[in-house]
Amino acid sequence: MKRIGHWLDGRELGDKAERLGDVYNPATGEVTAQVALASAGEVDSAVASSHRAFETWREVPLTHRARIFFSFRELLEANKDELAGIITSEHGKVLSDAAGEVARGQEVVEFACGVPHLLKGEFSENVSKNVDSYSIRQPVGVVAGITPFNFPAMVPMWMYPVAIACGNTFVLKPSEKDPSAANFMAALFKEAGLPDGVFNVVHGDKVAVDRLLEHPDVAAISSVGSTPVARYIYETAASRGKRVQALGGAKNHMLVLPDADMDLAADSVVGAAFGSAGQRCMAISAVVAVGDAGDALRQKVHERVAALTVGPGSDPGAEMGPLVTGEHRNKVLSYVEAGLREGADLAIDGRDIKVQDHEDGFFLGPCLFDHVRPEMSIYKDEIFGPVLVMVRAESYDEAIRLLNANPYGNGTAIFTNDGGAARKFQHEVEVGMVGVNVPIPVPMAFFSFGGWKDSLFGDSHVHGREGVHFYTSGKVVTSRWPDPSLRGVNLGFPQN
Ligand code: NAD
């Protein structure tokens, strides 16, 4: 059985783990590898390595750092198919989707190539007589990243390129469900010239996370995962004085007005709800159809879902792959049962899906519930699978009230041809990322990604300018050079 070890000081550690976790191929249901689950002591070794590396990495000139990032970018480009294949083999998503994830992560690496520009400070001459003032931003130290299973390459890449480019060192704790992408990226980064210890990977579960949250030499935590875990990480790390950004779960709504281009809305919602089998933090999982939009949309969604091909992610013809584990598939199935019990109308039932030669894979076909009411669990909870719920609303006002009452605030989209309605929506909606006729409005790397309310704890979004800000501390220097004409004791508070 293949073993996946921690990546420490520029190499993958051998087979010494006391605890191991199973890694599946979701398309076949087989255990394909076992991953080391770190003890607190192993986390300490990784943090100690990163702490040592910080002393020299922070001194590396910006242009040298940028050159390593340019090389890393080229290596990612050259190896993107292999990385996509690794993602598909452990996560299950189709290869084209995995390649898309790599490309979006690579864009953050491209953003980080510009770090000499991003770290420029401000300078004011003569703030007082012969006195100048300037601001600089410096790295915070060792940063830890805790990431979810659903984007094993892209979500870590939201964090570590920006943190490392800013002069920090990084310990990544990826999801134990699909750990191989992290080691693959670490090996490419080493090949690009990154010194050993600047990027370490510890695999593991809550034991590893808890040690990172309490370790005195970890200065900042970036995490992405479900809301209960995000809240726990935020509260625990903040209580130990760390800087924290903890991104949580989502229930992303698409609002469809009757004047929308209904074909575009249907194409968009099918892609956004069922891509990656609904296991995206920006997946659309609830549609709010205003007026008679619901009937038209239901019909068009039905036609498109009927034409979808569900199959193993490695099959170029497949559009939707399996869920990540059997346990997760069963949890999603239990929501379908709950929706039926609660009286929602199961307009599309994907429970009977059979994928030839993959009978033990973790497949579930697309499901659509119509006439869902806000008090139902299928509306309230994040299901994180291919289950789309449709709520009917009489008016825009009723729809926006529903959206804003939701505890999550990650992404949302409005579909309409009315510019005034779209503008009103973007102004009123209490959500961090908004699409106008765009179903998955994931910001580009040079903007920042993040939700509101229970979708993010902390005040910084990831990557872009907010990422640079999160991974650096500000310092303002006030300076003058001795001038004999400006001497004399003055006990007053300095003023101009
Ligand atoms: P998860 O919360 O189970 O795990 C996330 C990370 O936390 C993993 O590394 C895991 O090992 C660790 N972890 C799990 N339980 C823990 C505990 N009790 N204490 C400490 N650490 C723990 O999430 P997941 O199932 O891997 O990923 C799916 C979730 O992530 C969904 O809720 C999804 O919405 C969310 N997500 C959010 C975003 C976003 O941008 N807001 C992006 C991607 C995924």
Interval 41-85: pLDDT, tens: 999 999 999 999 999 999 999 999 999 999 999 999 999 999 999
pTM given for the model: 0.97
Q: Cβ(409)–Cβ(452) under 8 Å?
A: yes
Rounded Cα gap, residues 198 and 315, in angstroms: 37
- pLDDT value of position 143: 99
* CA–centroid distance, residue 324 to ligand 1 (Å): 13
Residue 157 has what pLDDT?
Answer: 98
- Phi–psi pair at 376, nearest 5 degrees: -75, 145
pLDDT at 375: 97
In this structure, the residue with its CA closest to atom 32 of ligand 1 is 226
What domains lie within the chain, and their CATH numbers? 2-248+455-477 (3.40.605.10), 252-436 (3.40.309.10)
130 close to 481: Cβ distance less than 8 angstroms? yes
Residue 127 has pLDDT above 90, yes or no: yes
What pLDDT digit, counting tens, does each position of 302-334 carry? 999 999 999 999 999 999 999 999 999 999 999
Mean pLDDT of all residues in 31-36: 98
Closest residue CA from atom 13 of ligand 1? 206
| Ligand 1 atom closest to 213 (CA) | 20
d(CA 53, CA 129) in angstroms, rounded, equals 42
Q: What spacing in Å lies between the alpha carbon of 270 and ligand 1's midpoint?
A: 24
Confidence of residue 487 (pLDDT cuts 50, 70, 90): confident
Handedness of CA 288, 293, 299, 303 (dihedral sign): negative
Share of the chain above pLDDT 90, in %: 96
Alpha carbon nearest to ligand 1 atom 43, residue: 281
Pick the residue whose CA is nearest to atom 20 on ligand 1: 206
> Measured between alpha carbons, how far is 3 from 23 in angstroms, rounded to an integer?
10
**Which pLDDT score, from 0 to 100, does residue 496 have?**
72
* pLDDT higher than threshold 90 for residue 495: no
Task: Give distance in angstroms: CA of 148 to centre of ligand 1.
Answer: 4
CA of 248 to the centre of ligand 1 (A): 7
Q: Is 113 a catalytic residue?
A: no
Whether 15 shows a pLDDT value over 80: the answer reads no
> What pLDDT, on a 0 to 100 scale, did the predictor assign at position 493?
86
Specify which residues 221 forms β-bridges with.
144, 244
User: Hey, how many other C-beta atoms are within 10 angstroms of the C-beta on 217?
Assistant: 13
* Interval 444-457 mean pLDDT: 98
Q: Tally the C-alpha atoms within 13 A of residue 219's C-alpha that lie toward its C-beta.
A: 18
Which tens digit of pLDDT belongs to each residue from 211-231?
999 999 999 999 999 999 999
Question: Sign of the CA dihedral 58, 62, 68, 74?
Answer: positive
Q: What is the pLDDT of residue 448?
A: 98
Number of C-beta neighbours around residue 120 at 10 A? 12
Query: In whole angstroms, what is the distance from residue 142 CA to residue 254 CA?
Result: 39
pLDDT band at residue 486 using 50, 70 and 90 as cut-offs: confident
Best of 35, 224, 449 to mutate for ligand 1, by most ligand atoms within 8 A of CB? Answer: 224
Q: Per the structure block, which two tokens stand in for 385? A: 């699978």
Give the angle 334-98-326 at the CA atoms, nearest 5°: 25
Looking at 357-451, which runs of residues are DSSP E strands? 367-370, 387-393, 408-409, 411-415, 433-436
Tell me if 197 sits within 8 A of 172, measured CB to CB.
no
Q: Give the pairing of strands 243-247 and 20-25.
A: unpaired
Q: CB-based burial of residue 419 (10 Å sphere; 0-12 exposed, 13-18 middle, 19+ buried)? A: exposed
Closest ligand 1 atom, residue 324 Cα: 25
Both tokens assigned to 473? 């501390």
> For residue 226, how far is its CA from the centre of ligand 1 (angstroms)?
4
DSSP percent split of the chain into helix, strand, coil, nearest 5: 40, 25, 35
d(CA 314, ligand 1 centre) in Å: 25
Which ligand 1 atom is the nearest neighbour of the CA of 455? 41
Ligand 1 neighbours, Cβ below 6 Å, are 146-151, 155, 173, 175-176, 205-206, 209, 224-226, 229, 232, 247-250, 281, 382, 384, 410, 451, 455
205: left (phi over 0), alpha (psi -120 to 50) or beta: beta
Q: In 10 A of CB 41, how many CB atoms?
A: 9
Q: Of the residues 113, 166, 281, 367, which is catalytic?
A: 281
Considering the chain, what is the average pLDDT of its residues? 97
Arithmetic mean of pLDDT, 393-415: 98
Label residue 358 by pLDDT band (50, 70, 90): very high
Query: Using one digit for the tens of pLDDT, what is the confidence trace for 362-389?
Result: 999 999 999 999 999 999 999 999 999 9
Element (H, E) at 424: helix 419-428
Q: Classify burial at 207, counting beta carbons within 10 Å of its beta carbon; exposed 0-12, middle 13-18, buried 19 or more.
A: middle
Instruction: Give the rounded percent of residues in the chain with a pLDDT score beyond 70.
Output: 100
pLDDT, one tens digit per residue, over 101-118 is 999 999 999 999 999 999
Q: Which of 209, 245, 408 to mutate to test the pocket of ligand 1 (most atoms within 8 A of CB)?
A: 209
Kind and range of the H or E run holding 272 = helix 262-274
Q: Residue 135: pLDDT above 90?
A: yes
